[in-house]
Amino acid sequence: MAEVQQPIAEPEIRPFRHAITARSIALGTLCVTFMAWGGHYTRHIGHTTKMAQDHLPWGVMVPFFIIAVILNKVIQAIRPGAMLTRAELLVIFAMALIGSALPSYFMAHMIANIGAPYYFPSSENGWVTELHPYLVDWAVVTDVTAAKWFYEGLPRGASIPWGAWFIPLTWRLSLVGAVACFCYCMVAIFRKQWVKNERLSFPLMKLPMNMADEEPRGFFTAGFMNQPVFWIGFAFAIFPIMWNMIGYFTPIFPTIPRDFGLIQLGRDFPPIETRFYPLIIGASYFVELEVSGSIIIYFLFLTFQLGVFRRFGFETGPLRADTSDFENWQGLGALFVLIPWGLWTARGHLRDVVRKAFTRDPTIDDTQEMLSYRSAVFGLILSALFICAWSVASGMTVYVAFVFVALVIIVWLGISKISIETGLISSRIIHAQFATYHIVGLTNMNPQSIVALALTYTWHRDLKTVLMAPMANATKLFDDVREDRGRMILAVAIAVAVVVGGSAYYAIASGYQTGAYNYGGIYAGSVQAVFDRGVGYIRDPFAMKRHLALWGLIGTAVTVANMVLRYIYPAFPLHPIGLVSATSYPANRTIFSIFFAWFAKAAILRIGGISLYRKASPFFFGMMLGYFVGVGISFVVDTIWFPDDGHSLALY
């Protein structure tokens, strides 16, 4: 008997709606406003889990979860046709993600850098004689009373001296605008190369892109949340957080650890940390196996090197830290190969970009790009010139400014490529300032250049939150924006303006209210170290140190060898991005979780192929989302019951 064919239900056809709408901009602005407040509050006042600390922070994911899952479900129940579309949700997420790079560290370092030079001078540190003569007045607060009140709090009846901040803030924020413009233009130029030509995986964007999906069947609009395996992963991540939260109120309550100790390899060899992070495991599952495997192999290679060189008495600097000379310079050496090679690989695309920009060649279509190639190229050039001019005006020689800005671009592109290809939540590598000091040589730099470099520890300081990295990740989201892709610059501009303006106002106002010195860290020891280091370099300049050059040459040689082997043997299993990724901090804290994800993915693919891989994906989405929701709940608990003494669930 023939089987009766059931009629196939026609999918619901909705009228096309733009992605850049009043409600997507409004909700995106609400998210970045929350970030402008929360970035400063969680870091300096509440002392809870930092809201904006990495390339996929909970301060982005929790509001997006509320909007995409909860709010959209409410709208669906009330008026289904008015649900937020996938494109609108991705605009909201992109605004929040890009805005997250600015409030916690970028703006905090800037405000501290403006206010510190005339508050901390003493007869011991030599700032008055070695620093002040070379400081440009328009970049810092020169009013000693205004600086004192900022760090110690306003006297009763006094008002905030905004006038003392107006000129330095104006010039500093002009530089922030140039940096944002440069980053946006750069990723606009490379979007097609990264997304279409190289087909990079963008593992950090897998979760938000799937959360924005519209599933016609099931309770949740995000289809993966209707799978039982998702809730297993979700519970796996959130249960330890909720369990340990009981200990907030009863310290004697036993907790579930996430650190399982150290693996000791021998004397002089740094130990390997075994930390279990559901977020890292979830994100690393969506990384290509050869990439995650290469990070693991190169991490072990670095560990072996460190042990051997320490045995022979070499100076390797701090171990497994963001200030590790050994790892920083090997990473920079690797970048000196990877970035030029990436530009060479993209030469065909870049040739088209230049032709379109300067000849308006009609055969090259850029109508679906984030910016027209002409606008992107000229915006890139003008913003780079402004950054260089600002640096020269602050005291750098033209040569030092050129070297420094070139190194900044290399570092930014490197971190962005690491983020979109390896899925590392955080990737702090060498500061361009340190590289400039050594490559140029302090003996070849005048005091004005050294002091001017100290002023750059604002827009290029804490590399956890480099602005280009979230913009690069957001290029993957723009595939779904369609006709509105070119209008995304409006959403990005609003996000940057709101976060920068809101963060600056809140940081300054709260500093005068409570005394910024009480925040410690960025506003005290960190900013003092920047200027103390500058004074030390002026007093005792040095040339390039040979052992640092050796570390850099090792990184260069290993990366070149990796590329040659991949060219000769296409099946060579190591990816050249593995070395620089393994040198980035805090790879030492996440490597065990990366290994766990690599092993799980390899086993799943071997047992069930791509079909089982896709079926298992909701489990790893659940691990990521469970962590984010758990951190959000912990933040609420801290805000209500522990407003000044919160509990951090950060990865490092």
pLDDT digits 0-9 by tens, 530-567: 999 999 999 999 877 788 888 999 999 999 999 999 99
In angstroms, rounded to a whole number, what is the distance separating the alpha carbons of residues 575 and 581?
Answer: 10
Bond before 586 cis per omega within 30 degrees: yes
In angstroms, rounded to a whole number, what is the distance separating the alpha carbons of residues 135 and 107?
Answer: 20
Domain for residue 556, yes or no? yes
Domain for residue 479, yes or no? yes
Domain for residue 6, yes or no? no
- Is a pLDDT exceeding 50 seen at residue 227? yes
User: Could you give the number of structural domains in the chain?
Assistant: 1
Domain for residue 432, yes or no? yes
- Is a pLDDT exceeding 60 seen at residue 293? yes
Average pLDDT for 482-491: 76
Indicate the SS3 state at residue 178: helix
In angstroms, rounded to a whole number, what is the distance separating the alpha carbons of residues 179 and 459?
Answer: 8
Global pTM reads 0.94
Q: Distance of alpha carbon 50 from its chain centroid, rounded?
A: 13
Contact between 241 and 635 (Cβ < 8 Å): no
For the chain, give the number of residues: 652
Return the pLDDT at 430: 86
DSSP run (H or E) holding 636:
helix 587-641
Average pLDDT for 63-75: 95
Indicate the SS3 state at residue 643: coil
In angstroms, rounded to a whole number, what is the distance separating the alpha carbons of residues 566 and 555?
Answer: 17
- Is a pLDDT exceeding 80 seen at residue 16? no
Domain for residue 7, yes or no? no
Give the pLDDT confidence of 410-446 residue by residue, as tens digits: 999 999 999 999 998 888 888 899 999 999 999 999 9
Return the pLDDT at 221: 87
In angstroms, rounded to a whole number, what is the distance separating the alpha carbons of residues 233 and 282?
Answer: 9
Domain for residue 16, yes or no? no
Judge residue 99's burial from the number of C-beta atoms within 10 Å of its C-beta, 0-12 exposed, 13-18 middle, 19 or more buried: buried
- Is a pLDDT exceeding 50 seen at residue 388? yes
- Please give the share of the chain, as a percent, with pLDDT higher than 70: 95
- Is a pLDDT exceeding 50 seen at residue 287? yes
Domain for residue 15, yes or no? no
CA 321, 325, 328, 334 dihedral sign is negative
C-alpha distance from residue 285 to each of 7, 100, 129, 240 (Å): 38, 24, 55, 21
DSSP run (H or E) holding 237:
helix 228-249
Contact between 220 and 625 (Cβ < 8 Å): no
Domain for residue 3, yes or no? no
Indicate the SS3 state at residue 428: strand
Domain interval for residue 572: 22-641
Confidence of residue 652 (pLDDT cuts 50, 70, 90): low
Confidence of residue 509 (pLDDT cuts 50, 70, 90): very high
